[in-house]
Structure 1
Amino acid sequence: MKHIWIAIAAVLLLATGCKSKIEQVENIDSYGYTERYQRSKEDFAKQGLYQKFDEQGRLMEEATYENDTLNGLRVLYFETGDTQIVETYRQGIFDGPYRSYYESGQLNLSGQYEANEMTGDWDRYYENGQLMERVRFEDNAENGPFIEYHENGNLKAEGAYLNGDNEHGLLKLYDEQGELKRKMNCEQGICRTIWKREGEE
């Protein structure tokens, strides 16, 4: 029984020792925002939860740090308290889901980062919830197919990008009723009309 108590005491001492190496910090930055976080007493590296508040005490940012480096979720808030941006970090680099929102709370933009690069399909929405566009990213730039919609949900454009916002290949444009009005052949963002609906200028 004695050995058990000694072991428990050692664990408690170790835990107490670990806690004493971390201190709570609260300060006001040059913009008047209040920062609250924990840091190591040895090297002042941020550890754990970080929060930032405006002059009225409203939470503007929350993040998680490990050894003074963003690791995990970082959330930015509107003054209303609603979520504005949600980012995901892995040891200081973007890695994981990204989301941004309108002040109304409606999703604005969603996508994925891998090793600090935008990748895969990124979706942007109108404030009414309708999908505005879906764009494929590779190497941190638009690369691949894209599709756009009018706010009423009808098809607006479809084509592909190459090395950024440069249409490449066949581009189709549609009116607000979703009817095809023009076809264009594009080369690195320079497009020429190869077909247009009768009456189109």
Structure 2
Amino acid sequence: MRNILFFTFLIISGVLFAQPNKVDAQGRKQGEWGKKYENKTVYMYKGQFKNDKPVGKFIYWYPNNEIKAIIIHDENSNRSVAYTYHENGKMMSYGIYRDQKKDSVWNYYGTSERLSLKETYKNGVLHGVKTIYYVPQELGKPTTQVAKTITYKNGVLDGPMKAYFDNGVLKESGNYTDGKRNGVFKMYTPSGNLQFTYRYKMDKYHGWQQTFDAKGLVIGSKYYVHGKELKGEALDKYMAKLKEKGVNPND
């Protein structure tokens, strides 16, 4: 009887001293916390809190009990390192958080663990160059081939953009200002010949829009002013006016 009572005491003590999801008198999370999927024994996540702040390692799981993410919080700073995983166990992404917002460079991977995307963040928004990669289906084929690079400023497209064919040849180039196409956009053939030139002023056609043949000669052109096409006599008068003022028609 004494042994039974002692064993029961050990079980109760273990439960009492391992109770997760506690808050202190001020309502702040303290110690071990975790949450399970509804109607399952599998945890969604487990981790530790200190004065409502996540500290140390947090682990997140898929419903099938495969690890979904591991986030390591530095107790002495606002920095956290995050690793996420596909359900097949391969790395999905890697990066850091500052104040629980994405920051600096983040790398993303496909289910074969090939690099597919690289982004730069500042205070939780895209800021800097975003690089998209070609990811071949053949697992044995190495890849570092860039498909596209675009530039962001405080979460908005702002800066140069370049796209490439899968053989590395430039496919398209242009520039964005405050989220809008601005300036000259050029498109090329897979062999690298210039095919089209489009000119924009804050997302509207402005200037000569041209088509080129394989020798680089202009075979088609249209002229626009702030999104409106000019033809015939109206175009001739406008060109004469620009020439008189010494203004470049593409400005």
Aligned to 2:191: 177
- Aligned partner (choices 139, 147, 159) of residue 132 of structure 1: 147
Instruction: Indicate conservation of the 8 Å contact 1:120/1:138, yes or no.
Output: yes
CA radius of gyration, larger in: 2
- Tell me, yes or no, if the aligned pair for 1:167 and 1:191 is still in contact at 8 Å: no
Q: How far does residue 66 in structure 1 lie from its aligned partner after superposition? A: 5.9
> Which of 33, 41, 46 is 2:54 aligned to?
46
Moved more, 101-110 or 24-33: 24-33
Q: Is the 8 A contact 2:74 2:80 kept in 1?
A: no
Relative distance call for 1:160 and 1:108 in structure 2 (3 A) is: same
What is the match of residue 163 of structure 1? 178
Distance 2:168 2:113 in 1: 20
- Hey, what does 1:37 align to over in structure 2? 47
Unmatched tracts of structure 1, length 5 or more: 1-20
Aligned-partner Cα distance in 2 for 1:45–1:139: 27
Match of 2:114 among 94, 106, 115: 106
Tell me what 2:101 maps to.
93
Q: Report the aligned-residue RMSD.
A: 2.7
2:160 is the counterpart of 1:152: no
Change (3 A) 1:107 1:191: farther
Q: Tell me how far apart the structure 1 counterparts of residues 187 and 147 of structure 2 sit (CA, whole Å).
A: 14
Aligned partners of 2:210 and 2:220 also within 8 Å: no
Where 2:168 maps in the other structure, the secondary structure is: coil
Q: Are residues 1:188 and 2:196 paired?
A: no
Q: 1:118 aligns with which of 101, 123, 126?
A: 126
Q: Deviations over 1:15-36 (max 9, x none)?
A: xxxxxx9633343044966111
Distance 1:23 1:89 in 2: 22
Listed as ranges, the matches of 1:5-84 within 5 Å are 23-30=31-38, 34=43, 35-40=45-50, 43=51, 45-65=53-73, 71-84=79-92
d(CA) in 1 for partners of 2:106, 2:96: 6
Higher strand share: 1
The CA distance in 1 between the partners of 2:170 and 2:34, in whole Å, is 51
TM-score (normalizing by structure 1): 0.76
- CA 1:147/1:31 → structure 2, altered by over 3 Å: closer, same or farther? farther
Aligned residues: 177
SS of the aligned residue for 1:105 comes to coil
Higher relative contact order (CA 8 A, sep 6+): 1
TM-score (norm 2): 0.62
Aligned mates of 2:117, 2:131 — CA distance in 1 = 6
- Unpaired segments ≥5 residues, structure 2: 1-23, 25-29, 137-142, 214-218, 222-251
